[in-house]
Amino acid sequence: MDDKRKSFLRKLVPSAAFLAGLCCFSPLVLVLLGLSSVSFASSLADSLYGTYKWLFRAAGLLFLAAALVWYFYRKEGICTLDAVKRNRTRIINTTLLAFFLVIVLYLLWLYVIVHYAGVWLGIWE
């Protein structure tokens, strides 16, 4: 993998995982900034994660897809269907790698880092 693709994935993957995990991270930010109480943040986290988690995950996935399309179209110059057919393996491998890394980073971000930060702040148990 060339340096241009590595650099792009280093920026894209954490951004998509962060966007998908905002459902539980935003109440933490509100508490840390002193804009809400712990009980409000807990109810907000329950509401956002319980009802709207799929919207946040879909936003992260759409961001990932849009960024990959932009990357291949603008940076790699793959503009026609013939170019897509010629570079099919590279496109598929890069997309699968990015998707897998976003899932792994999302799981680490939301269920390890954000969870234990919330436990430390007393927002959830």
Give me the phi and psi of 48, to 5 degrees please: -65, -45
Confidence tier at 3 by pLDDT (50, 70, 90):
confident
Mean pLDDT of the 68-96 span = 93
Average pLDDT across the chain, whole number: 92
Would you say residue 14 has pLDDT above 80? yes
Residue 125 is which amino acid? Answer: E
Mean pLDDT of the 106-119 span = 94
Would you say residue 100 has pLDDT above 90? yes
In this predicted structure, what is the pLDDT of residue 116?
94
Indicate the pTM of the whole model. Answer: 0.87
Residue 21 CB coordination number (10 Å): 24
Give the model confidence (pLDDT) of 15-70 as tens digits. 999 999 999 999 999 999 999 899 999 899 888 988 999 999 999 999 999 999 99
Distances (CA, A) of 113 to 42, 55, 106, 110, 120: 16, 21, 10, 6, 11
Is residue 15 a contact partner of residue 68, using CB atoms and an 8 Å limit?
no
Q: How is 8-61 classified by DSSP, letter by letter?
A: HHHHHHHHHHHHHTHHHHHHHHHHHTTSS-HHHHHHHHHHHHHHHHHHHHHHHH
In this predicted structure, what is the pLDDT of residue 20?
94
CA 7 to CA 98: how far, in whole Å? 12
